[in-house]
Amino acid sequence: MFKNVFGSGFLVRTAHVILTWVITLILFLHDTELRQQEETGQLVQPVLFVLLVLGSVLLYFAVSLMDPGFILSEDRDLQFTLGVTEEQQDMIPPTTKSLRQRRCGHCLLQQQPMRSKHCQTCQHCVRRYDHHCPWIENCVGERNHRWFVLYLAVQLLVLLWGVHIAWTGFSAAPSWQQWLRSDGVLLVVAVLLALLSLVVLLLLGSHLYLVSLNTTTWEFMSRHRISYLKHCGADENPFDRGTFHNLWGFYCVWGTVVWEQVYFREGSDQV
């Protein structure tokens, strides 16, 4: 279910944790509103901020160590035991590969489930593959995608709050030299938090947009190379069931979805 915390990506995860808590410490050590409230005994906001930072770190580890939906050997014949018939396969134009020809030459999967892809970094095929994220050193797939979006939302809240806190710590000085000596570190932290906020905001916005369309980053970027999407028009998505149902299925439906059945409009029964 979870990866080894000391395995691949240990250095990246360690750097993430160290950077997070160093920045948090700087915000408390400088004369920001957090420190002022702590000194006056008003602990509600400082405690909430620390708990939010802790929550973001825990979500980071959960997403980075979670099984994103690796396809195990016992799952290889799953899709064709769930009602995908020869007649349904014939519905795909002959110019594209048939479903039975979706094989993985790396994992030696004879029947690769629809919307899955082999990750060269993780060395596994991943269900409903979205992308491989180097910052979490893990794939984003069927099992951890919703947690990844939640992590981005919490991280964005932490970053924006951090920018506000850093802003409250700036003080006036007679000259730029004196100001940089007193607030230079805080300035670096504020700029770093602002840049990270922009990056996370763009990531969160793009993922929410793709989720609302029931498509993935891989499908959005590489649809011209994906066998089951080649014959679709530029604006056609065989998995789109409307914004509400797409969001409901993403956030509220747990379990493995048989995307072959959704593709042929026969429902999305779970297994």
**Catalytic residue set:** 133
Structure tokens at 79: 């899709």
Strands 124-126 and 117-119: antiparallel
Distance CA 259, CA 249 (A): 12
Beta bridge partners of 109: 104
The residue whose two tokens read 């479903």 is 99
Residue closest to 126 by CA, chosen among 71, 64, 173: 71
221 exposure class (CB count in 10 Å sphere: 0-12, 13-18, 19+): exposed
- What is the DSSP code (8-state) at residue 112? P
Residue among 143, 136, 99, 103 nearest 121 (CA) = 136
CB 26 within 8 A of CB 185: yes
Secondary structure class of 120 (helix, strand, coil): coil
> What distance in Å separates the CA atoms of residue 204 and residue 210, rounded to the nearest whole number?
10
Tell the residue number behind the tokens 């793009």, with chain if given.
206
CA distance linking residue 115 with residue 262, whole number of Å: 11
Each residue of 88-125: b (16+ CB within 10 Å) or e? eeeebeeeeeebeebebeebebebbbbbbbbbeebebb
